[in-house]
Amino acid sequence: GNSVTQMEGPVTLSEEAFLTINCTYTATGYPSLFWYVQYPGEGLQLLLKATKADDKGSNKGFEATYRKETTSFHLEKGSVQVSDSAVYFCALSSPDKLIFGTGTRLQVFP
């Protein structure tokens, strides 16, 4: 069945460091891929998405490229801020519900 695997956290970085959170997936067909962010005590918010191979989703300085050949959708940001501290979830559409990874906690220190 469809599944999503993302790197375990926590990921701890200093402000302005480069961020990569790995995400790989297993799926039949052509799912859409998503990154969601969850700030403390809140629900999930869509961060970015990509609907087909080679698409790049981007938002708030975050980027992820839908790589069909490596079945990956890694999240990157060139310079993180303290305010980016949150839990990040990779997900794929299946197709009427989302399959989530386990989430990766990001902690950014000044």
Partner 1 sequence: GAVVSQHPSWVICKSGTSVKIECRSLDFQATTMFWYRQFPKQSLMLMATSNEGSKATYEQGVEKDKFLINHASLTLSTLTVTSAHPEDSSFYICSAPGQALNTEAFFGQGTRLTVV
- Give 64 or 87: the residue with its C-beta nearer to partner 1: 87
Q: Does 25 help bind partner 1 (rule: CB under 8 A)?
A: no
User: How far are the Cα atoms of 14, 39, 49, 54, 108 from residue 102, in angstroms, in the given order?
Assistant: 23, 15, 18, 24, 20
CA 60 to chain centre: 13
- For residue 34, the minimal CB distance to partner 1 (Å) is 6
Interface pattern 78-97 for partner 1 (x via CB under 8 A): ---------x-x---x-xxx
Q: Using CA of residue 62, residue 6, residue 101, residue 32, what is the dihedral sign?
A: positive
Confirm if 74 and 11 have CB atoms less than 8 A apart: no
Q: Does 7 help bind partner 1 (rule: CB under 8 A)?
A: no
Site for partner 1, rule CB under 8 A: 30-32, 34, 36, 38, 41-46, 49, 51, 87, 89, 93, 95-98, 100, 102-103, 105
